[in-house]
Amino acid sequence: MKKTVVLSVFGTRPEAIKMAPLVLELAQRKEIRSIVAVTAQHREMLDQVLDLFDISPEHDLNLMQQRQGLPELTGRVLSQLTPVLEKEKPDLVLVHGDTTTTMAASLAAFYLKIPVGHVEAGLRTPERYNPFPEEMNRRLTSQIAELHFAPTQTARENLLRNGLEKERIFVTGNTVIDALFKTAEKLPPPPQEKILLLTAHRRENWGEPMQNICRAALRLVERNQDLKILFPVHLNPVVRETVFGILGKHPRIQLIDPLDYAPFVQAMRSSHLILTDSGGVQEEGPSFGKPVLVLRTTTERPEAIDAGTVQLVGIEEEDIFSSAQRLLDDPKAYEKMARAMNPYGDGKACPRIVHAILEFLGMPQPALDMFSP
Ligand code: UD1
Ligand code: UDP
């Protein structure tokens, strides 16, 4: 029997974490030949994830360059992925989320008239430039894709508002929860420590917002003598210059290289409080009942904010400092936020996605329930 070819394309750390359980699920289906092509928009941070999940891509474009710009990177993905698509002739290309890899890979597939399935579809903010360039990447990818795997009901509604066909939208939960559950179940019980876990990397936070975040962190350790901050710093040199410049010398602020996913999951579970501008961490923190303060002015992930475990605190030094200090001072406020919940998934997103793919490719499947928190 000729197998259906599904080619998954990804390039950065978060895409890899969220696509890894799906790639593993696809590999188990006898009807499918699963192929992985990585752009390596990230290098070390991608390889960390490929190693952990034991994924050896059939194609590695090795595209990352230091301080890469958006137009060049977009051009390299388009021109270097196209020969791979021409060679493999997939029946479906899968992309994830909202990076340059996502948008350019979708376009490359479209030019060859290959259908695209979009994992983590339908996230939206009301601002076209925030997050930048991710908001436009996801809007463009939605227009190209023929299958939309929406993590939540809110994401589905966003897609319907964009005029996309409801028969092609599947509410699956976010695959990050599949990855998180798989990883956490192998870890020992975490120690509980008075640690604030901090991550920040977003382009729109480069410059003054990143300085504000760092100054607020410094004030927090100075005010709270028993507090330590753990900050795995993204490898982007623009981020590192600011972070090491302001926080490099404090004995209770530990600046480290990006952690492998499993130790990072353990760091989230051990921490008292999480401050982040990351998309993925906003989704993961609530699973462990950790209050998450989001260092952004807008978010495409409103579900945990509505549930009360995540708070959008903005990018001003005083707002960040006072929001975190309040949770350190006021046990009632802390307890109110520290409730474990999974509004983003139940760990079964990947089987749901594969089910929808098989149906789309003409292989009818028994009925399956979609995600409902
Ligand atoms: C990218 C994504 C962003 C995502 C983030 C996750 C785009 C435009 N941005 O942002 O949506 O949230 O990844 O982390 O798609 N670098 C290394 N080694 C690595 C990774 C990065 O040295 O393993 C350095 C390189 O100098 C590289 C720079 O970081 O040029 C920026 O990488 P890039 O992927 O362009 O942007 P990110 O800020 O990482
Ligand atoms: N992460 C990791 N090591 C780290 C920091 C984060 O493995 O040192 C994981 C985190 O658990 C989440 C993902 O990386 O799943 C988020 O990636 P990032 O913040 O780079 O991107 P975003 O989610 O904002 O696009």
Q: Could you report the per-residue pLDDT of 299-326, keeping only the tens digit for each?
A: 999 999 999 999 999 999 999 999 999 9
Task: Report the C-alpha gap between 29 and 257 in whole angstroms.
Answer: 37
Q: Does residue 352 fall inside a structural domain? A: yes
In a domain, 371, yes or no: no
The answer to whether residues 118 and 207 belong to one domain is no
Tens digit of pLDDT for each residue in 168-198?
Answer: 999 999 999 999 999 999 999 999 889 999 9
Residues 132 and 207 grouped into a single domain: no
Is there a catalytic annotation at residue 203? yes
Share of the chain above pLDDT 90, in %: 98
Task: Given the residues 134, 135, 178, 277, select the one marked as catalytic.
Answer: 134
Q: Which atom of ligand 2 is nearest to the CA of 98?
A: 25
204 lies in the same domain as 268: yes
Cα separation, 368 vs 296, whole angstroms: 36
Domain CATH number, residue 321: 3.40.50.2000
Ligand nearest to the CA of 73: 1
Q: Which numbered atom of ligand 1 lies nearest the CA of 203?
A: 38
What is the rounded CA–CA span in Å between residue 115 and residue 68?
29
Among protein residues, the one with the nearest Cα to ligand 1's atom 22 is: 235
Residue 373 lies in a domain: no
pLDDT single digits (tens) 81-126: 999 999 999 999 999 999 999 999 999 999 999 999 999 999 999 9
Instruction: State the Cα angle at 255 between 251 and 257, rounded to 5°.
Output: 150
Phi-psi group of 299: left, alpha or beta (phi > 0 → left; psi -120 to 50 → alpha; rest → beta) = beta
The catalytic residue among 203, 219, 250, 252 is 203
My answer on whether 95 and 166 are in the same domain is yes
- Domain shared by 197 and 308, yes or no: yes
Residue 36 lies in a domain: yes
Q: Is 234 a catalytic residue?
A: yes
Vertex 111: Cα angle to 110 and 117 (nearest 5): 15
- Residues 138, 202 within the same domain: no
Residues with CB under 6 A from ligand 2: 13-14, 17, 176, 199, 201, 232, 258-259, 261, 264, 278-281, 284
DSSP per-residue string spanning 166-199: GGGEEE---HHHHHHHHHHTTSPPPPP-SEEEEE
- Residues 225, 168, single domain; the answer is no
Which of 96, 132, 198, 199 for a ligand 2 pocket mutation test, highest count of atoms within 8 Å of Cβ?
199
Q: What is the mean pLDDT of the chain?
A: 97
Dist CA 196 CA 97 (whole Å): 27
Contact yes or no for 239/206 (Cβ under 8 A) = yes
Q: What is the DSSP string of 259-275?
A: PPHHHHHHHHHH-SEEE
* DSSP SS3 for 373: coil
Name beta bridge partners: 4: 32
Per residue in 44-64, pLDDT tens? 999 999 999 999 999 999 999
Residues 351 and 330 in one domain: no
Question: What's the CA-to-centroid distance between 328 and ligand 1, angstroms?
Answer: 32
Active site residue 329: no
Q: What is the pLDDT of residues 12-31, one digit of tens each?
A: 999 999 999 999 999 999 99
Annotated catalytic residue within 120, 277, 283, 300? 120
- Give the chain's domain count: 2
DSSP 233: P
Ligand 1: centre distance to CA 237 (Å):
10
Specify whether 72 is catalytic: no
Report strand pairing: 4-10 vs 32-38.
parallel
Query: Is the per-residue pLDDT at 1 higher than 80?
Result: no
- Per-residue pLDDT for 154 more than 80? yes
User: CA-to-CA distance for 342 and 371, rounded, in angstroms?
Assistant: 11
Report whether residue 67 contacts ligand 1, using a CB cutoff of 6 Å: yes
Ligand nearest to the CA of 42: 1
Q: Does the pTM of the predicted model rise above 0.95?
A: yes
Residues 6+ apart with CB under 8 A from 55: 16, 20, 23, 24, 36, 49
| Cα end-to-end distance, the chain, whole Å | 38
Q: Give pLDDT, residue 35.
A: 98
Closest atom, ligand 1, to C-alpha of 236: 29
The answer on 254 and 202 residing in a single domain is: yes
Out of 15, 98, 204, 284, the active site residue is 98
Residues 334 and 350 occupy one common structural domain: no
Residues 35 and 103 occupy one common structural domain: yes
In terms of residue numbers, what domain contains 58? 4-174+345-360
For a ligand 2 pocket test, name from 264, 270, 271, 296 the mutation site with the most ligand atoms within 8 angstroms of its C-beta: 264
